[in-house]
Amino acid sequence: DTAGAGPAGRGSGRNLGCDSARSALRFGLFLKCFTTRLWEVRRRKSGFLELYSWQRQRKAKQEFCLHDGPPYANGDPHVGHALNKILKDITNRFHMMRGYKVHYVPGWDCHGLPIELKALSEIKGAENLSPVEIRQKAKEFAERAIEKQKAAFIRWGIMADWANCYCTFDPKYEANQLRVFHKMYDKGFIYQDYKPVFWSPSAKTALAEAELEYNEQHVSRSVYMKFPLLKSPPKLASVIDGSSPTSVLVWTTQPWTVPANQAVCYMPDAEYYLSAKVSPLLPANHVTMAKGTGLVHTAPAHGMEDYSVASHHQLPTECLVDERGHFTEAAGPELKNKNVLEEGNEAVIKMLQAAGSLLKEEKYVHSYPYDWRTKKPMIIRASKQWFVNTANVKATAQEVLKKVKIIPTSAVSRMLEMLDRRTFWCISRQRCWGVPIPVFYQKDTGESLINSETITDIIKIVEQQGTDAWWTLPIEQLLSKEAVAKAGGHDVLDYVKGQDVLDIWFDSGTSWAHVLEGTEQRADVYLEGKDQLGGWFQSSLLTSVATRKKAPYKTLIVHGFTLGEKGEKMSKSIGNVVDPDVVINGGDDHTKDPPYGADVLRWWVAESNVFTEVLIGPVVLNAARDDINKVRTKSKETNLTFIQKSASV
């Protein structure tokens, strides 16, 4: 390793008389290049890459499988990757030394909006590209990221089946993913519906709960509004004389949803008047007195609880907002084409003021969902999407999870709680870089055509040609005349291909069906960061339980996140970001960023309490280097003593 070259490298710089900053920089670059090439030579001589195949071929008493959660192929390797991969390697080598035959196939998560956006950001005129061209650019971007990450993981000394990595854009992987979709559809766990979902106006697509991050300091313009009653409820009528108008006072942090109002939730058997509409006053369990006035403005197209109330009382769920987050024509000329989070919100407040309904406006700081990739605010918007009915899966999933060993045990309650809160999982995305949902739509009616036969036909095509075929082949080669006739149709050309792709959590959540060997298809261990309790751990569990009624893992190991050595989040503005490549090979200026070598990086992981947040920085790395130097010194002394004793015998 190059860990021992750190001090020597700096000393050599001084001996060469490199006093100027430019000379020091040149020498630093030379040493970085030299140590990297030295590592390549040592790796070839040591047979490191053959270690995995060697241990697979030896006679072993038992198999140990650690299934690799695929990192996202959209950037350079970072210190979070290092913590995760090295921890997995330590686990694998521990079992190898105990006589187990280790199964560890590394993989990458390759589809999705972030890769698509990054690929398109490199191209001028990207808005004019066809879906096939976008997919090609996104794939090329993912492949470049994979090569970078793979080289880094090997440099960190990760023992794995590097010759047979899996990628979620491989045709065989995509076909296996669609087979899981097929089974779930046949069992009734996948359905299409029109309901409110988290919507990213910045990305123009629906997102799942796992793809959100919450901004605790989001500022909304909250308003108190009065809604005059057409008829007072009996209990209220008994205490007023009726000589003056009576209104109900309602508070909301989202004024832009008021045009879609259909009711006010709190008390039964009353009505109120708003914008020439009659809306009922209804009871609802989600209303509390903790915030606002105890009366909740209800817009079924823009809230989960609102939608539930509307469904129960058969209220309309009209959405007045398009995929860009702008008001549609149905919202009226004063609001049409206005951004609901910006000028549209302002316009609604002015309309309330003009109508004499606005009593008070104030800024309100609260937790609000943001798109985890674009870092822009979300809205809730009703649209037609595809869902997994997790309500019918989670009871079995919770029972299955009780048989899984989870380390640390503190993660058990959190995962069960997150699972319990999930009533449905939106799996459709309005993008083109992904696995297409194999559904066709009748041109005139919009009615969907999807069944066991049509899905099977698409799987065969995907396995041979990949998912590009969905966009490149004419519909006559994707949809058979027999399938159309069976559905009561007349002509294949009366149908169009669906444009939605599957959620990337469904992509990675079906990896067990492709990677795990044997009929059992269960890994001994899944090992990931705590963010995967609601991500890959959960999506893998749901798809496996829905199709096989068992978990894809026997043990879950959950580690913490990496932080700066003072316990603060890493940030370029603070200057505490740790680059694993710089840790190993050193930075441009070796006096500032010395080369520690891969062993120091591995030692840092090995000596850390990985079940809490893991700190890293110069002080931590220097301590790790000192520890390793002590071990090396003692090892040399022990070896020398052994040689001397052997020579004297």
Segment 385-403, tens digit of pLDDT: 999 999 999 999 999 999 9
Please give the CATH architecture assigned to the domain spanning 212-378: Alpha-Beta Complex (3.90)
At residue 241, does pLDDT exceed 80?
no
Q: Are 504 and 435 in contact (CB under 8 A)?
A: no
Q: DSSP letter at 255?
A: G
Question: C-alpha distances in angstroms, 551 versus 95, 168, 402?
Answer: 22, 21, 10
Q: DSSP code of 299?
A: -
Mean pLDDT confidence for 105-116 = 95
Q: Which residue has the higher pLDDT, 262 or 206?
A: 206
Task: Quickly state the pLDDT bin for 362 (edges 50, 70, 90).
Answer: confident
pLDDT digits (tens, 9 = 90+) for 574-590: 788 899 999 999 988 88
Given a cut of 50, whether residue 34 has pLDDT beyond it is: no
Q: Which of 1-5, 77-81, 360-364, 552-556 has the least mean pLDDT?
A: 1-5
Q: For a pLDDT cut of 70, what percent of the chain falls above it?
A: 85
Beta-carbon contacts of residue 55 (< 8 Å; ≥ 6 apart): 96, 101, 102, 159
Structure tokens at 462: 């995907």
Average pLDDT rounded to a whole number, residues 47-75 = 91
The DSSP symbol for 104 reads -
* pLDDT higher than threshold 90 for residue 439: yes
Strand (E) or helix (H) holding 16: none
pLDDT tens digit sequence for 504-530: 999 999 999 999 977 678 999 999 999
Q: Kind of pairing, strands 190-200 and 379-388?
A: antiparallel
The Cα–Cα gap between 260 and 298 comes to: 8
Using the CB atoms, write b or e for 82-105: b if 16+ within 10 Å: bbbbbbbbebbbebbeeebbbbbb
| Mean predicted confidence (pLDDT) in 133-141 | 96
Q: How many CB atoms lie within 10 A of CB 615?
A: 18
pLDDT for 276 equals 43
Contact residues for 307 (Cβ-Cβ < 8 A; gap 6+): 195, 196, 300, 301, 317, 382
* Beta carbons of 302 and 259 less than 8 angstroms apart: no
pLDDT given for residue 623 in this prediction: 94
Asked whether the beta carbons of 586 and 32 are under 8 A apart, the reply is yes
| Contact between residue 180 and residue 157 where contact means Cβ atoms under 8 Å apart | no
Residue 4 above 70 pLDDT? no
Residues 435, 509: Cα–Cα separation, whole Å: 13
Given a cut of 90, whether residue 591 has pLDDT beyond it is no
- Using CA atoms, how far apart are residues 608 and 323, in angstroms rounded to an integer? 46
Helix, strand, or coil (residue 433): coil
DSSP 378: -
Fold of 109-140+161-189+389-405+425-515: Rossmann fold (3.40.50)
Least confident of 313-317, 370-374, 404-408: 313-317
Interatomic CA distance for residues 277 and 170, integer angstroms: 54
Question: What confidence tier does 605 reach under pLDDT thresholds 50, 70, 90?
Answer: very high
Q: How much is the pLDDT for 1?
A: 47
Residue 2 has a pLDDT of 39
**pLDDT attached to residue 61:** 78
Computed on alpha carbons and rounded to an integer, the radius of gyration of the chain in Å comes to: 30
Predicted pLDDT of residue 24: 45
- What is residue 489's predicted lDDT score, i.e. its pLDDT? 84
Q: Does residue 112 have a pLDDT over 80?
A: yes
What token pair was written down for 184? 């779930």
Mean pLDDT score across all residues of the chain: 85
- Classify the C-alpha dihedral 565-69-501-462 as positive or negative: positive
Q: Amino acid identity of 70? A: P
For residue 191, the model assigns a pLDDT of: 95
Mean pLDDT, residues 51-56: 92
Residue 634, pLDDT score: 85
d(Cα 546, Cα 558) in Å, to the nearest integer? Answer: 23
Q: Are the C-beta atoms of 2 and 582 separated by less than 8 Å?
A: no
Measuring CA to CA, how many Å separate 13 from each of 7, 28, 38, 322, 413?
10, 8, 18, 62, 55
Distance CA 284, CA 313 (A): 11
Distance from C-alpha of 306 to C-alpha of 299, rounded to nearest angstrom: 6
Domain parsing of the chain, residue ranges: 109-140+161-189+389-405+425-515, 212-378
**Contact (Cβ atoms closer than 8 angstroms) between residue 393 and residue 183:** no
Q: How many CB atoms sit inside 10 A of residue 577's CB? A: 13
* Over residues 372-388, mean pLDDT: 90
Question: What residues contact residue 66 under an 8 Å CB cut-off, 6+ apart?
Answer: 88, 91, 92, 102, 103, 104, 523, 524, 525, 526, 527
With 50 as the cut, is the pLDDT of residue 13 above it? Answer: no
DSSP state of 355: T
SS3 call for 416: helix
Contact 538, 102 (CB under 8 A): no
- Residue 28 has a pLDDT of 47
pLDDT at 274: 38
Minimum mean pLDDT range among 255-259, 452-456, 460-464, 534-538: 255-259
